[in-house]
Structure 1
Amino acid sequence: MIRLRLYTTLGCHLCEQLEALLETLAIEEVELERVEISADDALIERYGVRIPVLADNAGEELDRGFEAERLAAWLAERGWLGEASWSRFQRDAEPYASAPRGAVMRGGRRYLGG
């Protein structure tokens, strides 16, 4: 089991995104110690604009782990990346990355994504 610390705060949608990516990409089950930063001024000062921040047992931190490439690289450095899961994730994300994202005007209103 992989044990990590997650610096977070209530309602952090990026933290939820990071957790979902971890579940998908990690080679084994991940146990998260969630650290709520809002109750501690020092934690707010250190992590307030950086959350979500993951930390391993050695204290090495990862900012912006909700970005799949960053998280995959961080996990791979530690031998925790499920290579097959990462390949599948990249393959499944490919159509979304290349799809046009233009805006279309209809009835005087602008709609995103065609």
Structure 2
Amino acid sequence: MIRLRLYTTLGCHLCEQLKALLAILVTEAYHLEEVEISEDDALVERYGVRIPVLADAAGEALDRGFEAPRLAAWLAARGWLDEAAWQQLQRELAGEPSRPARGAVIRGGRRYLG
């Protein structure tokens, strides 16, 4: 099982975005330990403007993991990236529909219902 640590704080919407991306992109089961930085002055000083920060068991950290390409590259470097899920997410981020609606016609990147 993959062990990950997320340095976060209450109400961090970017942290929520990173967790959602992890659920999509990681190939195998993982345990995510969330570390609340606001309870420790040293952690606030170290991570306060960098959160969310994701770290692996070796302590190698990723800043701005809420950016899908950065997270995908970090996961791929460790052999943890689900390539098919990443390709699908890239298509969705590019605005390509996963499946056009029945009778839909796509012109100029827009979908028109027939």
Q: Quickly name the TM-score band, shorter chain normalised.
A: 0.7 to 0.9
TM-score (norm 1): 0.82
Aligned residue for 1:51, secondary structure, equals coil
1:77 aligned onto 2:77: yes
Residue pairs, 1:37-76, within 5 angstroms: 37-76=37-76
- Corresponding letter in the other structure for 1:62: L
Unpaired runs of at least 5, structure 1:
100-114
Q: Distance in 1 between matches of 2:92 and 2:27?
A: 18
Identity of aligned residues (%): 73
Aligned length: 97
Residue pairs, 1:103-114, within 5 angstroms: none
Q: Distance in 1 between matches of 2:91 and 2:23?
A: 17
Displacement over 6 Å in runs of 4+: none
1:33 aligned onto 2:33: yes
Q: Distance in 1 between matches of 2:92 and 2:54?
A: 25
Unpaired runs of at least 5, structure 2:
97-108, 110-114
- Corresponding letter in the other structure for 1:81: L
CA RMSD between the two structures: 1.2
TM-score (norm 2): 0.82
